[in-house]
Structure 1
Amino acid sequence: MKKLLHLCLFLAVGTVAAQKYYTKTGTTDFKASVEAFEPVEAKSNSTTAVLKVDSGELAALLFIKSFHFKVALMEEHFNENYMDSDKFPKATFKGKLEGFNMSDLSSTAKEYNLTGTLTVRGKAKEVATTAKVSKNGDKIMVASFLSVKPQDFGIEIPSIVREKIAKEINITLNYELIEKK
């Protein structure tokens, strides 16, 4: 009987340790606007993200063509000229929320250091930022912000439009994660 109890406890702990939360509808926004020019910004509502609650590991994947702009021509140029999205169809992030502990979550957002590798156009770059994480009912909410430079990912901005695009691209992430069963 004692061995059975230990086995049940071991299995229960193993199940909790492997617990994951995910979304397929996370939002990723980017802004590369320069004042006095037309806004350069886009949004994707189809970022897939997974959070391993036992380790704080966070991974995200988004298809470049899922970004939508207000101006169709801008979207076309983004995919064809800058991102080469047929050749490099996705961007990924693999990282970790430092010191993450599921039992610390509440409706009040807690800030964690978020470090990892962002891969865009086949080029990987180590990034470090913070993420605000909270719990809303059965969902985990993750929000983060980071800035990157186009040249870090081999994105060349032609001189004719260089002054109309910011030197740093601001990326905002908002994920509403549910338990993966």
Structure 2
Amino acid sequence: MKNSIVVAILLVSSWANAQDKIMSKSAVIVFEASVPSFEEVKATNKNATVVLNPKTAEIASLALMKGFRFKVALMEEHFNENYVESDRYPKALFKGKIENFDANNLTTTPKDFIINGKLELHGKTVAVKVPAKISQSSSGINLVSNFTVNASDFDISIPSVVKNKVSNKINIQLNAVLK
């Protein structure tokens, strides 16, 4: 009987704790590594997960690498097999904290914030400072972020054959509505 009560208390407390967090399972991440005058190197993942604890300003995001879709199927295949090695490194993970964040002060006008965190990709973890625009809407909390990372920081090598066609500098855009 004691064990049942302990289990019930743990389940309720974890559920109550989970209620402090808001999330999106349909956040959109777009990355681009295009070089002018060459074919566009761009992909979109419409199923990323973003979780925010408004009380602590802690934020986390997870994207499955095989969820990125390219216009050209061969690019998608090369991306998964040769660049990010999706079978070996299936996900990208970001964990951080939003500086000076107070959910009670959000309005419909986006405010600028900095998110300090760590991005884990291709087996490497890199500290990043990410700018974000965050606002409140009837749908939830809107988060938009645009930032860049270098492929080389994550030990993602670009073969010399395509070095002039694929940028080392990767532009990343995240859009999420957290509920």
Same fold (TM over 0.5): yes
User: Using the alignment, how far apart are the partners of 2:155 and 2:168 within structure 1?
Assistant: 13
Aligned match of 2:37: 36
1:73 has 2:57 as partner: no
Is this contact kept in 2: 1:17–1:54, CA < 8 A?
no
* 2:130 counterpart residue number: 129
Aligned positions, number: 164
Deviations 1:121-159 (A, max 9, x none): 110000002110001114000000111111110101100
Cα RMSD of the aligned pairs, angstroms, is 1.4
Q: 1:151 is paired with a residue of what secondary structure?
A: helix
Give me the whole-angstrom Cα distance separating, in 2, the residues matched to 1:135 and 1:22: 14
Amino acid at match of 1:59: A
- Specify whether residues 53 and 116 from structure 1 end up closer, same or farther in structure 2 by C-alpha distance, changes over 3 A only: same
Structure 1: give runs of 5+ residues left out of the alignment.
Answer: 1-14
Q: Could you tell me how far apart the structure 1 residues matched to 2:153 and 2:119 are?
A: 10
Q: Identity over the aligned pairs, expressed in percent?
A: 44
**1:100-179 matches, cutoff 5 A:** 100-178=101-179
After superposition, give the CA deviation of every residue in 1:10-49 in whole Å (9 maximum; x if it has no partner): xxxxx69962110100000000000110000000000001
- Runs of 4+ in structure 1 displaced over 3 angstroms? 15-18
Q: Secondary structure of 1:108's partner?
A: coil
Show the counterpart of 2:13. none
Cα distance in 2 between the residues matched to 1:74 and 1:59: 28
- Cα distance between partner residues in 2 of 1:81 and 1:54: 41
The structure-2 alpha-carbon separation of the partners of 1:107 and 1:87, relative to structure 1 and needing over 3 Å to count, comes to: same
Alignment of 1:54-93 (within 5 A): 54-93=55-94
Post-superposition offset of 1:96: 0.8
Partner of residue 10, structure 2: none
Query: In 2, are the aligned partners of 1:135 and 1:141 still within 8 Å (CA)?
Result: yes
Cα distance, 1:141–1:118 mapped onto 2, change above 3 Å? same
Provide the rounded CA distance (Å) in 2 between the counterparts of 1:110 and 1:56.
15
Can you give the 5+ residue segments of structure 2 that lack an aligned partner in the other structure?
1-15
What is the rounded CA distance, in whole Å, between the counterparts of 1:87 and 1:51 in structure 2?
Answer: 28
Amino acid at match of 1:87: R
1:47-82 deviation line (CA, Å, top 9, x unaligned): 001000001111000000000000000000000000
Task: Name the SS for the 2:167 alignment partner.
Answer: coil
Amino acid at match of 1:33: S
The answer (yes or no) to whether the contact 2:65–2:92 under 8 Å persists in 1 is yes
Residues 51, 57 of structure 1: 8 Å contact kept: yes
Does the CA contact (< 8 Å) of 1:23 and 1:176 recur in 2? yes
> What SS does the aligned partner of 1:77 have?
helix
TM-score, normalised with respect to structure 1: 0.88
